[in-house]
Copies of this chain bind each other. A is one copy, B any other.
Amino acid sequence: MTASPLEPIDRAILRELTVDGRCSFTDLAERVGLSVSAVHQRVRRLEARGVLKGYAAVLDGEQIGLPLTAFISLTPIDPAAPDDYPQRLEHLTQIEACYSVAGDASYVVKVRVAGPTALEELLRQIRELAHVSTRTTVVLSTPYEDRPPGL
């Protein structure tokens, strides 16, 4: 299901937009060496194809009052239970991402909370909502994150 490989110019466009998502079409055109219209066309096509899924502001977790990040591995208590954990947990806004994984656990979720107390409460909610046991890895610091994929 991996779609047609990307052209070099499209890759250049995506690289620029990953670094600066608010870059103007004029600047973008200059950086990739195309006219404004051509870049405009290509960006719209990339958006339509779903390669470019959107644009997001990058926030500083510490400065928005959510300084504690953690990864929580979820292991089902009842192996026969239906596999609907993502939906069961979706409404918990502290959960930033949910991954289905191969390994000891079934899922790994990335969470962001205000502190240890909030983490404890969140763990209680997750266990109750999803009937899972949890293993939590607390993040001490983040040397880097959200780097542009190797385009």
List residues of A whose CB falls within 8 A of some B CB: 1-3, 5-6, 11, 14, 17-22, 49-67, 69, 71, 86, 90, 93-103, 105, 108, 112, 137-151
Contact = CB atoms under 8 A, between A and B. Distances in A.
Contacts of A93: 147-150
A7 to B, nearest CB: 12
Nearest to A140: B100
Contacts of A108: 71, 137
A59 B51 contact: yes
Contacts of A3: 62-63
Contact of A58 (B52, B105, B138): B52
A142 B100 contact: yes
